[in-house]
């Protein structure tokens, strides 16, 4: 819609008879300028006064003609320069190889263990068990372990021995959110427990699990957890063996079909994921072998294959 004008042209002045008396100057309220009492005399020819027009360029004007010639000459020079420019040399495979080699020499690439750590970091949780103080009634931390999110609704795998004697279970996610959790499943023969967190982060990511059918001694792995409550911590090593058997120091339990690895693990790593270099979970860290009473890592750790862990939560086997 066309806007209404905020101002308009002054109406054409009325002709005043020659014998009319002169009137004093008046003020035009719209523009605030003084206007003569009588209009200026018309041209002798009697034609109406015209508004000025913009002057149009014409080739008959020498200045316009020389400007056009200059622009055309510049365009011709640029065209000739582009046409006479020698063609670029074709890129060969040797050129590509040299460029890649130069980049590799000048760029520090992340290690495979770093990639694995970044892939699994958001799915690792700290698991804390609390027991009621019989005298004061306060919650006292009974133990610290590790868990891994396997379903993004807050389903977590950990070791049964981390939580089975706790009155209250709490988990802390990678973003710092802390929530209580309940045991919703257990597999005592493999020392596994399934937890359900009562509150979860909005962007919770579940870990990716991978079958162990093609896992072989010598494959690189990373053990993730909270050793002595410090973490999350990441340690790299290799698979030392498969189908191992472990008996608890008290002799009360025997675990079978375990993955043996040499990545460092200590108390607090229990329930944490054992992952491949692409960050996929192949096992749940369960035990370490130490014939002394120190019960610290001396080079041999064990993990329950993820197939067993998946069965504990009713997931389809690989």
Summarised one tens digit per residue, pLDDT across range 11-53 is 444 444 444 444 443 333 334 344 444 444 444 444 444 433 3
* Number of neighbouring beta carbons within 10 Å of residue 10: 10
Q: What span, in angstroms and rounded, lies between the C-alpha atoms of 51 and 135?
A: 103
Contact (CB, 8 A) for 317 and 309: no
DSSP state, residue 3 = P
Give the active site residue among 191, 235, 240, 262.
Answer: 191
Strand partners, 274: 223, 283
Contacts of 238 (CB under 8 A, 6+ apart): 217, 218, 219, 220, 221, 261, 262, 263
Domain for residue 59, yes or no?
Answer: no
Domain for residue 259, yes or no?
Answer: yes
In this prediction, residue 237 carries a pLDDT of 97
CATH at residue 205: 2.40.10.120
Which structure tokens are listed for 293?
Answer: 């009473």
Give the active site residue among 233, 235, 240, 270.
Answer: 270
Strand partners, 170: 128, 180
Domain for residue 78, yes or no?
Answer: no
Contacts of 87 (CB under 8 A, 6+ apart): none
* Residue 95 Cα distances to 103, 107, 108, 231, 316, angstroms: 12, 18, 21, 46, 50
Which structure tokens are listed for 59?
Answer: 């080739």
Contacts of 229 (CB under 8 A, 6+ apart): 144, 268
Domain for residue 144, yes or no?
Answer: yes
How does the average pLDDT of the chain come out, rounded? Answer: 79
Give yes or no: 191 in active site.
yes
Parent domain of 260: 119-312
Which structure tokens are listed for 76?
Answer: 């011709």
In this prediction, residue 263 carries a pLDDT of 97
Q: Which of 38-47, 68-77, 97-106, 303-312 has the highest mean pLDDT?
A: 303-312
In this prediction, residue 172 carries a pLDDT of 98
In this predicted model, what pLDDT tens digit does every residue of 137-155 receive, in sequence order? 888 988 899 999 999 999 9
Domain for residue 66, yes or no?
Answer: no
In this prediction, residue 78 carries a pLDDT of 61
Domain for residue 5, yes or no?
Answer: no
Give yes or no: 316 in active site.
no
In this structure, the strands spanning 254-261 and 301-305 are: antiparallel
In this prediction, residue 222 carries a pLDDT of 98
Q: Is the pTM of this model over 0.85?
A: no
Domain for residue 16, yes or no?
Answer: no
Domain for residue 123, yes or no?
Answer: yes
Give the active site residue among 123, 161, 233, 262.
Answer: 161
In this structure, the strands spanning 34-35 and 301-305 are: unpaired
Contacts of 279 (CB under 8 A, 6+ apart): 115, 116, 117, 118, 119, 120, 207, 208
Which structure tokens are listed for 79?
Answer: 């065209």
Instruction: Identify the band that residue 230 occupies on the pLDDT scale cut at 50, 70 and 90.
Output: very high
Give yes or no: 270 in active site.
yes
Domain count of the fold of the chain: 1
Q: What span, in angstroms and rounded, lies between the C-alpha atoms of 274 and 276?
A: 7
């Amino acid at each position: 819609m066309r806007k209404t004008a905020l101002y308009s042209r002054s109406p054409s002045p009325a002709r005043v008879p020659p014998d009319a008396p002169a009137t004093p100057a008046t003020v035009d309220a719209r523009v605030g300028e003084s206007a003569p009492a009588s209009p200026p005399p018309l041209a002798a020819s009697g034609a109406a006064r015209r508004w000025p027009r913009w002057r149009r360029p014409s080739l008959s004007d020498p200045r316009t003609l020389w400007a056009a010639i200059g622009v055309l000459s510049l365009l011709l020079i640029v065209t000739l320069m582009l046409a006479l420019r020698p063609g670029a040399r074709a890129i060969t495979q040797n050129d590509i190889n040299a460029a890649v080699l130069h980049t590799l020499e000048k760029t520090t690439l992340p290690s495979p263990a770093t990639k694995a750590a970044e892939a699994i970091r958001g799915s690792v949780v700290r698991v804390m068990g609390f027991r009621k103080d019989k005298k004061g009634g306060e919650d006292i931390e009974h133990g610290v372990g590790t868990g891994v999110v396997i379903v993004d609704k807050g389903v977590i795998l950990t070791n049964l021995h981390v939580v089975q004697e706790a009155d209250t279970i709490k988990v802390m996610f990678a973003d710092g959110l802390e929530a209580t959790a309940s045991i919703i499943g257990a597999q005592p023969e493999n020392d596994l427990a399934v937890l359900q967190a009562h509150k979860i982060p909005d962007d919770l990511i579940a870990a990716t699990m991978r079958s162990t059918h093609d896992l072989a001694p010598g494959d690189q792995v990373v053990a993730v957890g909270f050793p002595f409550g410090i973490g999350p911590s990441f340690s790299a090593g290799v698979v030392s063996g498969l189908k191992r058997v472990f008996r608890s120091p008290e002799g009360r339990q025997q675990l079978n079909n375990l993955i043996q690895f040499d990545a460092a693990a200590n108390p607090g790593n229990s329930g944490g994921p054992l992952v491949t270099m692409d960050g996929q979970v192949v096992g749940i860290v369960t035990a370490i072998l130490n014939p002394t009473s120190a019960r610290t890592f001396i080079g041999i750790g064990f993990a329950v294959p993820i197939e067993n862990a998946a069965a504990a939560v009713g997931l389809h086997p690989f």
